[in-house]
């Protein structure tokens, strides 16, 4: 991977690379090359320092970016309110 490409890897590739390394099938450098993931990120995922995404049981959540401050249900409600405002339904 190039030094200037950020977030170009997929969560599925990171999960497979992490599993392969933990099972002892491939070494760390080989996993990073084969699955096209950054070695430094692979080390973090293998050591289970990731607080969300691959580090937990939920492998579908994106790893890049920050976690939201609002709970998902409140965020969804806010989105709905903003959509209504866009369609000229003012709040009272």
| Token code pair at residue 80 | 């709905």
Q: What is the pTM of this model?
A: 0.49
CB-based burial, 62-85: b 16+ in 10 Å, e otherwise: ebeeeeeeeeeeeeeeeeeeeeee
Task: Please list the pLDDT of the chain residue by residue as tens digits (92 residues).
Answer: 556 566 678 888 888 898 888 888 889 899 999 998 888 888 888 887 665 544 444 445 555 556 667 788 888 899 888 888 888 776 66
| Token code pair at residue 77 | 């409600």
Domain extents in the chain: 7-63
């Amino acid at each position: 991977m190039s030094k200037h490409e950020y977030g170009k890897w997929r969560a599925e590739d990171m999960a497979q690379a992490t599993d392969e390394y933990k099972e002892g099938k491939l070494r760390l450098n080989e996993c990073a090359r084969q699955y096209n993931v950054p070695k430094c990120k692979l080390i973090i995922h293998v050591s289970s320092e990731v607080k969300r995404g691959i580090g937990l049981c939920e492998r579908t959540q994106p790893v890049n970016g920050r976690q939201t401050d609002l709970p998902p249900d409140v965020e969804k409600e806010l989105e709905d309110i903003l959509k209504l405002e866009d369609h000229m339904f003012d709040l009272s």
